[in-house]
Structure 1
Amino acid sequence: MDAVAANHATLARLARRFEAQALGSLLQPVFGEGPKGLLSGGAAEAQWRPMLVENYARAWTERGGIGIAASVHRELLRIQSAAGQSPLPASPQPNIDQEGSPA
């Protein structure tokens, strides 16, 4: 893998991580606090709920997400190109596969 492809893969991976974090923040209020009472999971459920939300967000992102990663990736490439660090111009709509490589 040449340096340009490695750079694109790294930026795509960072963009997907950002999308997963953003989705996690958006999903957190949906899960809110669990029900209180006899059938609730108690303290254990409260401890594990953030990890569940994080994994939902990561899984959603790995299956294509909602487009945040593609936009962030495109902007990162544009900024890098403007700084003169990348020999390739940013593509108008990068197609990012699950491994982080532009397809």
Structure 2
Amino acid sequence: MQDLQPIPVAPSGATPAPTGQKLHAQAVQLEAAFLSEMLKCAQVGRPMESFGGGIGEEQFASFLRDAYSEKMAEKGGIGLAESIFHALTRGQGNV
């Protein structure tokens, strides 16, 4: 039999601090989710009355909104991601 080695586990509640790049990426994802909801309220992707694509178009409209919002957030969006990122780094003491 082989000797079993214990797997090192971090103490409960201790999580490594995310890097700046990871925090910024998460802030951009959050802005994209917010923008997607705003586009939904603005009825972007809503099927047209005439020449509509039927139920399939209605079901896939959310994918179109999500793609739009992700691209908007990647290009700077409305500046929400930057505000979130700065708030998160300030909370870590990394001003």
Structures share fold, TM-score greater than 0.5: yes
TM-score using structure 1 length: 0.69
Q: Deviations over 1:8-32 (max 9, x none)?
A: 0010001000000000010112226
Please, which runs of 5 or more residues in structure 2 have no aligned partner? Answer: 1-16
Structure with a larger share of its residues in helix: 1
* 2:92 partner SS: helix
Q: CA RMSD in A?
A: 1.9
Conserved in 2, the CA contact under 8 Å of 1:36 and 1:42? no
Aligned with residue 10 of structure 1, among 17, 22, 40: 22
Per-residue deviation, 1:80: 1.6
User: 1:13 & 1:68 partners in 2: Cα distance?
Assistant: 12
Q: TM-score, normalised by structure 2?
A: 0.74
Q: Is residue 87 of structure 2 the alignment partner of residue 75 of structure 1?
A: yes
Q: Which residue, 63, 73, 77 being the options, matches 1:65?
A: 77
Aligned to 1:41, the other structure's residue is in SS state coil
Percent sequence identity is 29
Aligned residue pairs total 79
Give the number of the structure whose alpha-carbon radius of gyration is greater.
Answer: 2
